[in-house]
Amino acid sequence: MKPFHYVIIGNGVAANKAAETIRHNHADAKITLISREFFLFYYRHKLPLYITGKIDETDLQVYPVEYYRERNIRLRLGQIVQKVDLHKKVVYLKHMEKVHYDRLLICSGGRSYIPEIYYPFRSCFTTMKRLSTARTIREKLPSVQSIAIVGGDLTSVKLAETLIDTGREVTFILDDYAFWPLESASEIRDSLENALRKMGANVISNDPLNMVKQIKDDDPPLYEIQTQSGKTLQAQMVGAFFGFKPDIDFLIRSGLDIDRGILVDDQLKTAFDDVYAAGDCAQIYAPELKNYWVSVGWKNALRLGEAAALNMVGLTGHARKPAAHATQYKGIKLSTPWWHIL
């Protein structure tokens, strides 16, 4: 008899917590993790330290490969899910392989978001969601002296800090998107600005980006940035930090209900039996609010991954919208249900 097959799309924190939970409760099932990234599960929040060379790739890794061997979890790394057929229960991979599941969990997380108005300049932007891009930045960085950061979400603060630490010139062009993933941006705007200045960054606020263009195709290249007030500046790298949005393009036409994420009930199940979603890609129903909420952040993803897995193995797990908690980061006062300073 073929073993029961759990397929998990993703190899982030939600996916890994889910795999661990499934294995704990279902010893002889087949478990497969699929990730487009070619790396073992790693701490995303440490990417800024990695980029500036403070830590190495091995320090990013959460588990060694033996962890998966011992637990008999099949890792399919560097493999991209192209589409799914939820009726036939098949996941189609880009390298043209079919994977059949008995129960599917989608933990595809988010990807760097670029607001529509800035979309024309996307080729000039460097983003930092994945280790592969971080690796490229790390390689380019030695020749880069000046960096402009547009947007400026929470992930960029740590990056700015380490960049300045290593003697680079950093200019922030803050705008309305800058405070992802906080629900209300205005409350921290000032403290953020102050904090950045204190770190030694130049800050341009209330004067959003108008245009970016590459003016030199050298090593390093050179970009010219213009704000709406007509101010121009030059930088050798332009980081775009506008937060993340669910990475679920491959689910278009799958029949799943999608709004700002994959719609799931408070047990993380989609409208399809045997199909669940958790982590940054999910939009979850909260019965007490009679509304949906989108999960963001490491700890939330971890909890959701666990809850989804419990439901998948036949036990019960509930998603709870976390309550906001107050934290401090570099003098920035935050009250957020999402972010934990890691």
Partner 1 sequence: MKQTDSLVIKICGSAGDGAISAVEILNRACALMGFHIMNFDSYPAEIRGFGKSVGHTRISRTPLLTPGRYADCLVALNDMHAITELKRIKPDAALVYDSRPPDYIEEDCAVAGFIEPGMSGYGVPLRELSAQAVKSARSRNIVALGAIAAMYNLDPEAFIEAINIRFARKSAVVREINSAALKMGYEYIRNHRERPVHKTLLAVKRHDRPIRIVNGNEAAAIGALDAGLTLYAGYPITPATKIMEYLAKKLPPKNGTVVQTEDEIAAIGHVVGAGYTGKRAMTATSGPGLCLMTEMLNLAVQAEIACVVINSMRGGPSTGLPTKTEQADLNLALYGGSGDSPRVVLAPANVPECYIMTRRAFEIAEAFQTPVILLLDFFLSNRFEDVDETVLETFEPGMFKRLTAEPVSGKPFERFRVTDNGVSPAAFPGMPGLKHAITGLEHTPRGFPNYEGDNHRAMTEKRRRKFIELQNAWPHPDVTGPKGQLSIGVLSWGSSIGAVREALASPELKGLSIGGCFPRLLQPLQTEPLKLFANRCDRLVVVELNSSGQLAGLIEQTTHKKAMRLADVPAEPPAVEQIVRYLTGVLK
Partner 2 sequence: MNTPKDKPHNTEPVLNKRVASGLSHVNSDGLLNYRSHALPTWCPGCGYYGITHGLTQAMNTLNIPNENLVVVSGIGCAGRMPFFVNGYGFHSIHGRALPIASGVKMASPELTVLCVGGDGDGFGIGGGHIAHVIRRNVDLTYIVFDNSIYGLTKGQASPTTPKGQVTSTSPFGTAEDPINPALISLAYNVSFLATGYAGDPDILNTIFQKALAHRGFSMIIVTTPCITFDHVNVTWNDFRDRFEPIPSGHNTGDIAAAMQLAISGKNYNGVLYQDDRPDWETRQKAIRKKSSG
Ligand X SMILES: Cc1cc2nc3c(=O)[nH]c(=O)nc-3n(C[C@H](O)[C@H](O)[C@H](O)COP(=O)(O)OP(=O)(O)OC[C@H]3O[C@@H](n4cnc5c(N)ncnc54)[C@H](O)[C@@H]3O)c2cc1C
- The residues of the shown chain that bind ligand X, judged by CB under 6 A, are 9-15, 34-37, 44-45, 47, 80-81, 107-110, 128-129, 155, 247, 250, 279-280, 296-299, 301, 339-342
* 88 makes contact with partner 1 (CB under 8 A): no
Taking each helix axis as running N to C, give the angle between helix 154-165 and helix 186-199, from 0 to 180 degrees, rounded to the nearest 10. Answer: 10
Nearer to partner 2, 102 or 265 (CB): 102
Instruction: Report DSSP state, residue 21.
Output: H
* 87 makes contact with partner 2 (CB under 8 A): no
Beta strands in 221-290 (DSSP E): 222-227, 232-235, 237-241, 244-246, 262-264, 275-277, 282-286
Query: Residue 287 Cβ, how far from partner 1 at the closest point, in Å?
Result: 37
Query: Residue 16 Cβ, how far from ligand X at the closest point, in Å?
Result: 8
Query: Residue 292 Cβ, how far from ligand X at the closest point, in Å?
Result: 16
Among partner 1, ligand X, partner 2, none, what does residue 95 contact (CB within 5–8 Å per kind)?
partner 1
- The answer to whether 264 and 256 are in contact (CB under 8 A) is no
Structure tokens at 36: 């487009």
Nearer to partner 2, 99 or 128 (CB): 99
Asked if residue 115 has a cis previous peptide bond (ω within 30° of 0), the answer is no
Nearer to partner 1, 12 or 246 (CB): 12
3-state secondary structure of 91: strand
Query: Residue 147 Cβ, how far from partner 1 at the closest point, in Å?
Result: 22
Structure tokens at 241: 């930090």
> Which of 33, 99, 149, 275 is in the footprint of partner 1 by CB under 8 A?
99
Nearer to ligand X, 227 or 294 (CB): 294
> Which of 24, 54, 100, 198 is in the footprint of partner 1 by CB under 8 A?
100
3-state secondary structure of 171: strand
Radius of gyration of the chain (CA): 21
